[in-house]
Amino acid sequence: MIIKNYFVHLPPITKNTPKMKTLLTSLVFLYTCLISAQNLIDQQWEINRIFGTAPQQTDFYILQKGGFLSSITLSPNGTFQSYSSGLCAIGNFTITEGTYKKRDDNYIGFHLKDSKSDTSKNMGKYYVHKVSDNEVLLIKSTGNLAKDQQRAVYATVLAPAIVVINNRIYKDPKMTIPSSTPWLERVNKYVTEVLKLSNYEICLVGCDSVLNTIYLVKDSDKEAYSYILEQSSKKNNYALQHLTEDYIQQEIAYWKDFYNKQTK
């Protein structure tokens, strides 16, 4: 499901608009700022994946005001609930729940309750990063503030791509890899054999609402990004393909234009 308000409020994209890599600094300083963890509490946020159900390697969640079909609510009493409000749901029903604790103005820690017992799983702490009044990113902490802030920079690049990817079904795999292969090995194999890169960085891992795990990969020589999509496929394999930086920008421009015309 595409997020209308997300695209309506994006700045215009023209033929002179710089690519994502040159937008990093301006995005961070013009469109992002720190938000107190307190501001997340006692509000309902839509979230790109029910909290705690994302693939283990996922580095962050996207919280927005409207658009996704899953939600998360942090109650003032220190508990949270994350649930689906999709078309197949009869009203809202709880999928995951647990407790949270505000560590300081920048961090929140989560414990996920086991639905079959009284135990809970420590989900670690998350760095809270504000993109706009309508969007906040929860980023898994590395334990180092400077590194978490760098992750926030990468998350502002990957999040718009996830919103785009969430609206389409991509079925053009370039490689299939057995699911028994560790995720990092899978990504490295795809990058070296399909993208043909030797000098690169796997910057961050995200996911859409249902199907895809998305890896943000930077070509360190060209300072360009690729978005590797990974889906579970038949016969215990993962199917991998990728999208380019240019494609993501074209999709953002398309949906922005589409919704702007609807509002006129």
Instruction: Establish if 132 belongs to a structural domain.
Output: yes
Whether 139 has a pLDDT exceeding 70, the answer reads yes
Instruction: Establish if 88 belongs to a structural domain.
Output: yes
Q: What is the mean pLDDT of residues 149-178?
A: 92
Q: Which of 107, 139, 165 is the last residue of a domain?
A: 165
- Residues 55, 161 within the same domain: yes
Instruction: Establish if 56 belongs to a structural domain.
Output: yes
Q: Which of 131, 165, 199 is the last residue of a domain?
A: 165
Tokens of 141: 């902490």
Whether 1 has a pLDDT exceeding 70, the answer reads no
- Residue 184's pLDDT is 98
Instruction: Establish if 170 belongs to a structural domain.
Output: no
Q: Which of 165, 189, 222 is the last residue of a domain?
A: 165
- Residues 179, 256 within the same domain: yes
Task: Output Rg (C-alpha) for the chain, integer angstroms.
Answer: 18
Asked whether the beta carbons of 187 and 217 are under 8 A apart, the reply is yes
Tens-place pLDDT, residues 54-83: 999 999 999 998 768 899 999 999 999 999
Instruction: For residue 158, give the nearest of 223, 106, 203, 209 by alpha carbon.
Output: 203
- Side-chain half-sphere CA neighbours of 28 within 13 A: 14
Tens-place pLDDT, residues 83-131: 986 555 445 566 899 999 999 889 999 999 987 888 999 999 999 999 9
Query: According to the per-residue pLDDT averaged within each range, which of 89-93, 167-171, 174-178 is highest?
Result: 174-178
- Residues 251, 190 within the same domain: yes
Grouping H, G, I as helix, E, B as strand and the rest as coil, residue 1 is coil
Which residues lie below 8 Å from residue 128, measured CB to CB, with a gap of 6+?
34, 35, 36, 37, 40, 106, 107, 108, 136, 137, 138, 139
From CA 39, how far away is CA 102, in angstroms rounded?
11
* pLDDT interval class at 5 (50, 70, 90): low
Which residue intervals of the chain are DSSP H helices? 4-8, 20-31, 145-165, 183-193, 245-263
Asked whether the beta carbons of 202 and 158 are under 8 A apart, the reply is no
Q: Which residue reads 């919280």 in tokens?
A: 63
- Residues 44, 103 within the same domain: yes
Parent domain of 146: 4-165
Which residues lie below 8 Å from residue 178, measured CB to CB, with a gap of 6+?
236, 237, 238
- Residues 82, 183 within the same domain: no
Q: What is the mean pLDDT of residues 134-142?
A: 95
Q: Give the residue with greater pLDDT, 189 vs 17.
A: 189
Share of the chain above pLDDT 70, in %: 81
Q: How many domains does the chain have?
A: 2
- Residues 179, 158 within the same domain: no
- Residues 158, 180 within the same domain: no
